[in-house]
Copies of this chain bind each other. A is one copy, B any other.
Amino acid sequence: MVLLIHHSVSPQSRKARLIMAEKKMLFVLKEEEPWSLSQEVLNINPAGELPILVFDGKVISGGYAIGEYLEECSPQYKLFPEDTLERAEVRRLMEWFDIKFYNEVYKYIVAEKVIKRFQYRQAPNSKILKAGLNNLNYHMEYIEYLADKNNYLAGKTLTMADLSAAAQLSIVDYLGDIPWNDYKNAKLWYAKIKSRPSFKDILKDTIKGITPSATYSDLDF
Q: Name A's B-contacting residues (CB within 8 A).
A: 46-47, 58, 60-66, 68-69, 72-73, 84-85, 87-89, 91-92, 94-96, 99-100, 103, 142
The answer for the CA separation of A89 and B106 in the assembled complex, in Å, is 26
Find chain B residues with CB under 8 A from A64 CB.
Answer: 64, 91-92, 94-95
In the A-B complex, the 9 residue pairs with the smallest Cβ-Cβ separation, listed nearest first, are A65-B91, A62-B92, A65-B88, A65-B92, A64-B95, A62-B95, A69-B88, A60-B88, A72-B84
The answer for the CA separation of A65 and B63 in the assembled complex, in Å, is 14
Find chain B residues with CB under 8 A from A47 CB.
Answer: 96, 100
Known A65-B87, A73-B84; 15 more pairs at CB < 8 Å: A46-B142, A62-B88, A62-B92, A63-B95, A64-B64, A64-B92, A64-B95, A65-B88, A65-B91, A65-B95, A68-B88, A69-B87, A69-B91, A99-B99, A103-B103
The answer for the CA separation of A47 and B68 in the assembled complex, in Å, is 22
The answer for the CA separation of A189 and B196 in the assembled complex, in Å, is 48
Find chain B residues with CB under 8 A from A95 CB.
Answer: 62-65
Find chain B residues with CB under 8 A from A87 CB.
Answer: 65, 68-69, 72
The answer for the CA separation of A192 and B114 in the assembled complex, in Å, is 45
Find chain B residues with CB under 8 A from A46 CB.
Answer: 142
Q: A61: which of B61, B69, B92 is its contact (CB, 8 Å)?
A: B92
Find chain B residues with CB under 8 A from A142 CB.
Answer: 46
The answer for the CA separation of A47 and B138 in the assembled complex, in Å, is 11
Interface contact A85-B58, CB-CB below 8 Å? yes
Find chain B residues with CB under 8 A from A66 CB.
Answer: 88
Tell me the smallest distance from the CB of A112 to a CB of chain B, in Å. 18
The answer for the CA separation of A111 and B55 in the assembled complex, in Å, is 39
Find chain B residues with CB under 8 A from A58 CB.
Answer: 85
The answer for the CA separation of A95 and B12 in the assembled complex, in Å, is 13
Q: List 20 A-B contacts (CB under 8 A).
A: A46-B142, A47-B100, A60-B85, A60-B92, A61-B92, A62-B91, A62-B95, A63-B95, A64-B91, A64-B94, A64-B95, A65-B88, A65-B91, A66-B88, A68-B87, A69-B84, A69-B88, A72-B84, A73-B84, A99-B99
